[in-house]
Structure 1
């Protein structure tokens, strides 16, 4: 967060950043948030790509799935160009492929599918039994648990527009990471902006969940971490300015890769979205 900037201003800036500028029918441009690392936060690219694709689809269809690959590190000081390929327009579904480029080099690619609103069968996995956010707030005397240590201050810029509440896991299961998350202030009713902001925050800390069984901190000096791909499914309507539980669990670590799965629930227990991410989790040996 920039010096002197309020939380409301940080949120307004993020919403403006997510919107992307339309250059022509299928070409868009976005700027990047400075998170203090010189790189581009993957969730930002997910959100901007989603907004760009949605602008070519229309209001009668909304995203239900996206499958993305992070190809190269982005440079936050260079604008990102988003090229949308109109793969298919059907009566019920539309498909888009979005390529994000910097200096004519692709840094990210994603396929997205959009669907009209339909009625049908309804089932979901149960929401885990966790402490509700209001109780956690009452239990937290000065929110020390929500502050980042000095070594992680770069994450302040990334998460400044959001309230994050770490959640104690049932049975103190160290292999589960859960947080309640919402924007710090109410935002408008545009559902596409809510979805883009959820895509933005869905990349936060997901792949590091794969390190939990090994009891290794993500910023350990002998670890190299990077997101490889990210998949997301949108199941039900939601608001990102209301509390959502992000329940994350490791699936596998092997061959210097880690796989983690996330489920997002609202306070009523409705499953509103699911995520899966694979990332590089390479141990660096001394001398390498």
Structure 2
């Protein structure tokens, strides 16, 4: 970490990344990741599209679900344009459709993601939770994801320099896996995982940015869960993967700068695809969001 990469500057950078600017009626723009290389992180585009949708509805309407399809990989560097269709405005619910695009060198817009978000005015209703949080070690007893990556790279000197730099770069979200995968091993595991996550510094007191950060982080670890029963690893270059679609249901407000437990499982894979589900809990056990994702999951060569 260089002197400029303090926890506060990393989180401020994340907030800037997920803050969209209004260009005209129902047209917004999102800035690229500073210094980003290669393909845009899917959770970033989902969160930016959600932010554009949230900016287009009254403050008393709260996002309760989003459904996104990744059409093609976004390219780091060019800005992302976000156009909105106001499909529905009712007394209790509203719906927004967002197309995220980047412009080719020849000036042609290329859609990279379609997202539909539904909003509701908060109300009282029947309430139950039938999905208790699993009993896992608290985050204070676990290594950070950065420490796990560093240990792995110390034992794997042949990892390419660009992949090493990507793995070690400072991140605005801290993650602590309850049962970390040893990337040197290729033993199959049950397709289940759980990790604690939170931003490395405080976020503004704006519920919309907390929902956006949760949407951003919800793209972590999902697709990798489908690889666990096969004993193959992205870090060893054994898998080619890409998200196809992504859904988030926001059940209750939560702060993304406090510990959240992200529990994932994969009930199925086949045909070059993997299906994954996720549940997000607050530290005191409240289920605040659910996720689902299907993605491309192709083995590039025989596992080691």
Same fold (TM over 0.5): yes
**C-alpha RMSD of the superposition:** 2.4
Question: How far apart are the structure 1 equivalents of 2:35 and 2:216?
Answer: 13
After superposition, residues 238-249 of structure 1 pair within 5 angstroms as 238-249=254-265
Q: Which residue of 1 aligns with 2:294?
A: 278
Deviation at 1:144, TM superposition (A): 3.0
8 Å contact kept, 1:54–1:192: yes
Question: How far apart are the structure 2 equivalents of 1:277 and 1:186?
Answer: 28
Deviations 1:146-180 (A, max 9, x none): 647364542455x71112111139xxx64321110
Question: How far apart are the structure 2 equivalents of 1:210 and 1:58?
Answer: 38
Q: Are residues 141 and 247 of structure 1, via their aligned partners in 2, closer, same or farther at CA, if it must alter by over 3 Å?
A: closer
SS in 2 for 1:195: helix
Of the structure 1 ranges 204-213 and 35-44, higher mean CA displacement relative to structure 2 is found in: 35-44
TM-score by length of 1: 0.90
SS in 2 for 1:129: coil
Q: Which residue of 1 aligns with 2:184?
A: none
TM-score by length of 2: 0.86
Deviations 1:28-68 (A, max 9, x none): 00122257541111111011101100111111111111110
- Which stretches in structure 1 are left out of the alignment for 5+ residues? none
Deviation at 1:10, TM superposition (A): 1.3
Deviations 1:197-222 (A, max 9, x none): 11111101211110011111023434
Q: State which of 173, 178, 183 in structure 1 corresponds to 2:199.
A: 183
After superposition, residues 61-76 of structure 1 pair within 5 angstroms as 61-76=61-76
Question: How far apart are the structure 2 equivalents of 1:26 and 1:38?
Answer: 29
Deviations 1:205-250 (A, max 9, x none): 2111100111110234342110100011000110001000001111
After superposition, residues 114-193 of structure 1 pair within 5 angstroms as 114-124=119-129, 125-136=131-142, 140=143, 144-145=147-148, 147=150, 149=153, 151-157=163-169, 160-168=171-179, 174-193=190-209
Q: Which residue of 2 aligns with 1:6?
A: 6
Deviation at 1:81, TM superposition (A): 0.2
Q: State which of 240, 262, 271 in structure 2 corresponds to 1:224.
A: 240
- Aligned pair count reads 280
Q: Which residue of 2 aligns with 1:84?
A: 84
